[in-house]
C-alpha cells in the first residue's frame, strides 16, 4: 500500500472514532487534523469534501463490520446457533468502540431526517443489515428450529431493537446489567419464535 493510501486509512480509522463520539456532522476537519497530527489541508487533500469523507467513513466502517460481525457468524453452523453468534458478535463489536459506541447507531438517529447522499448510503447499509438478520433467522426455519410460519422480518425487527437499546442502556444509562438484559431479551425472542 502506498504512503498515501496508508495515511488515508489512518485518517478514516481516526475519523470513525471521532464520528462515533460527536457524530458525522459534529465532527470537524480541524478536530480531525489535530487528532491525526496533520494539517487541515494535508488531511483534506485525501477527500473531495466533508460529505465525501462522511461517506468514506461509512464505507470503512462497513468493511470492518463485515469482517468482525458478519464473517464470524457465517462461519457458524446454520440456525439458532448462527443467530446467536451474530448477536454476540454485534455486542462485542459495539463494545469495541472505546467510547461513543457503534457508529451506525449514532448515525441512524443523526441522519434519520437529513436527506442527502450520506443518509442514502446509511439507509442502504441498514437495509442490508436488517436483511441479513432476516436471512440468518430463515436458516433457523429451514433447519427446523423455528416453525415454518414464523415471521422472520418481525424477528429481525425485534432483534434489531435490542441492539439499539443496548447502546442506550450501556452507554447512556451506564447500566452495569445492560449486557445481561440484552442477552435475556435475545433469549426470550428466540424462545417465543421456537414455539409459535
Helix, strand, coil percentages, rounded to 5, for the chain = 75, 0, 25
- Residue 105 touches which of DNA, its own copies, none (Cβ within 5-8 Å per kind): its own copies
CB of 121 to DNA, least distance (A): 16
Q: At CA 81, angle to CA 80 and CA 87, rounded to 5?
A: 85
- Residue 181 touches which of its own copies, DNA, none (Cβ within 5-8 Å per kind): its own copies
- Residue 27 touches which of DNA, its own copies, none (Cβ within 5-8 Å per kind): DNA
CB of 3 to its own copies, least distance (A): 33
CB nearer to DNA: pick between 40 and 181: 40
Q: Which residues in 142-163 are b (16+ Cβ under 10 Å) and which e?
A: eeebbeeebebeebbebbbebb
Rounded to a whole number of angstroms, the CA Rg of the chain reads 18
Q: Does 29 bind its own copies (CB under 8 A)?
A: no
Q: Which residues would be at the binding site for DNA (CB under 7 A)?
A: 2-5, 7-8, 27-31, 37-46, 49-51
Q: How far apart are CA 63 and CA 128, in angstroms?
A: 13
Instruction: Candidates 18, 38, 80, 111: give the one binding its own copies (CB under 8 A).
Output: 111
Q: Which residues in 86-103 are b (16+ Cβ under 10 Å) and which e?
A: bbbbbbebbeebeebbbb
Q: Does 23 bind its own copies (CB under 8 A)?
A: yes
For 62, phi then psi, to 5°, come to -65, -40
Q: Does 123 bind its own copies (CB under 8 A)?
A: yes
Per-residue cell: 23:
457524530
Contact positions vs its own copies (CB under 8 A): 21-23, 25-26, 99-101, 105-106, 108-114, 119, 122-123, 126-127, 130, 153-154, 157-158, 160-162, 164-165, 167-169, 171-173, 181, 184-185, 188, 191-192
Amino acid at each position: 500500500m502506498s504512503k498515501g493510501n496508508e495515511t488515508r486509512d489512518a485518517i478514516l480509522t481516526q475519523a470513525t472514532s471521532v464520528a462515533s463520539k460527536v457524530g458525522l456532522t459534529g465532527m470537524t476537519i480541524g478536530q480531525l487534523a489535530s487528532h491525526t497530527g496533520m494539517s487541515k489541508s494535508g488531511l483534506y487533500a485525501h477527500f473531495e469534501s466533508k460529505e465525501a469523507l462522511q461517506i468514506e467513513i461509512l464505507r470503512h466502517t462497513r468493511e470492518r463490520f463485515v469482517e468482525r460481525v458478519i464473517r464470524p457468524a457465517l462461519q457458524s453452523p446454520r440456525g439458532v446457533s448462527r443467530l446467536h453468534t451474530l448477536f454476540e458478535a454485534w455486542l462485542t463489536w459495539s463494545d469495541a468502540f472505546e467510547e461513543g459506541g457503534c457508529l451506525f447507531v449514532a448515525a441512524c438517529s443523526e441522519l434519520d431526517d437529513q436527506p442527502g447522499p450520506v443518509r442514502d448510503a446509511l439507509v442502504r447499509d441498514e437495509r442490508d443489515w436488517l436483511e441479513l438478520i432476516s436471512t440468518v433467522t430463515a436458516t433457523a426455519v429451514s433447519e427446523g428450529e423455528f416453525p415454518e410460519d414464523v415471521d422472520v422480518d418481525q424477528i429481525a425487527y425485534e432483534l434489531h431493537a435490542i441492539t439499539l437499546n443496548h447502546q442506550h442502556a450501556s452507554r447512556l444509562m451506564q447500566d452495569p446489567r445492560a449486557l445481561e438484559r440484552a442477552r435475556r431479551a435475545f433469549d426470550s425472542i428466540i424462545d417465543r419464535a421456537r414455539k409459535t
